[in-house]
Each structure stands twice: as structure tokens, then as C-alpha cells.
Amino acid sequence: MNKLFALIVFAGVASIVYIAAFVEGYVLFRYYPMLGEATMDDLPRSAGPAMGWYSWIVVCAIAGAIAGIIALFIPTRLTERIGPTMSWLVPGLVVIYTFYYEWHWFFE
């Protein structure tokens, strides 16, 4: 059981799922700040703008936790090749992709 590897897997999977949910607009629920409530239903426009960020956080935390728990059962001899510095590789690539995806906000 390698707890560090499980954290690396959590970070990688959570960041990938977060950006996928963001890009695809996938939300489990929407939070309406004007009403102060979260709901799984789309409310009329009079309810104000809906926020999906809280849902993205929940989705990526669940996916990362599941992947991290599964990673705990991978034998240590297989995980020793991945060092702690590799833990930033996938999240770093996700950040680069996010900048690429959001490029139009800054330069167009």
C-alpha cells in the first residue's frame, strides 16, 4: 500500500475530471446564489444566474477519491517508479490545456 501514490492518482484524476466537467458543462446540481439554494432542477431565469462550480468540485472529488482508493491496492513494487515530482505532471498539463481552452478571454 503506497499512500503517496494514491495521492498522486487522486490529484491526476481529480484535475482531469474537473476540466472535463468544466469544458462539457456537466453539473450534478446548480447553486443559485440569489436564492441561497442548490438544486438539481433548472430554475427559471428569475432565480438569477446558476453556478456549476460547486458541482464540478464534488464530481472531481468523488472521481479522485474512487481512483485514489483503487490506487491503494496497487502493489508498491509497481508504483515505486513514479516519484513525487511526477505528481505535478498531469495537473500541470491540465493547467496548460485550460489556458489553451480559455485563450479567447485574454487575446481575442
- How large is the average pLDDT for residues 53-64? 95
Element (H, E) at 4: helix 3-24
| Reported confidence tier of residue 1, pLDDT bands at 50, 70, 90 | low
Query: Given a cut of 80, is residue 97 above it in pLDDT?
Result: yes
Give the number of other CB atoms < 10 A from CB of residue 96. Answer: 10
Query: Given a cut of 70, is residue 56 above it in pLDDT?
Result: yes
Cα 3 to Cα 105: distance, rounded to the nearest angstrom: 39
Q: The dihedral of CA 39, 42, 44, 47: what is its sign?
A: positive
HEC states along 25-90?
CCCCCEEECCCCEEECCCCCHHHCCCECHHHHHHHHHHHHHHHHHHHCCCCHHHHCCCCHHHHHHH
Q: Domain map of the chain by residue range? A: 3-107
**pLDDT at 16 (0 to 100):** 93
Where do we find the cell 495537473? 91
